[in-house]
């Protein structure tokens, strides 16, 4: 059984989110996509839009994204936002 999916969302100023999640949906250059547990490794550019996080308890949180990057490997997701 795989470990839980961990998400960290950071800006140059602070850490916005750092916790276990069920899923995260992001605005990619070629459209929105979601990452769930055991997702294949990926690095992608993010565009303007909304980041939707479903936490481990099933509650949704939303974050604004102007631009940034996402990386996922071994059930750890890192989102780096420009602001």
Q: Tell me, what CATH number does 31's domain have?
A: 2.60.15.10
Which burial class, exposed, middle or buried, applies to 60 when counting CB atoms under 10 A from its CB (0-12, 13-18, 19+)?
exposed
1, pLDDT greater than 50: no
Q: How high is the pLDDT of residue 2?
A: 54
Tokens of 60: 């949704």
| Total domain count, the chain | 1
Question: Per-residue pLDDT tens for 11-64?
Answer: 999 999 999 999 999 999 999 999 999 999 999 999 999 999 999 999 999 999
pTM assigned to the model = 0.93
Domain span holding position 29: 5-81
User: Do β-strands 68-73 and 76-81 pair in parallel, antiparallel, or remain unpaired?
Assistant: antiparallel
- 60-64 LR contacts (CB < 8 Å, sep 24+): 61/17, 63/9, 63/16, 63/17
């Amino acid at each position: 059984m795989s470990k839980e999916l961990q998400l960290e969302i950071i800006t140059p100023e602070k850490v916005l989110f750092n916790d276990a999640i069920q899923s995260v949906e992001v605005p990619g250059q070629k459209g929105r996509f979601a990452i769930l547990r055991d997702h294949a490794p990926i690095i992608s550019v993010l565009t303007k839009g909304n980041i939707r996080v479903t936490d481990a308890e099933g509650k949704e949180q939303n974050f604004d994204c102007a631009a940034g990057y996402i990386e996922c490997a071994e059930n750890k997701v890192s989102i780096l936002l420009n602001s």
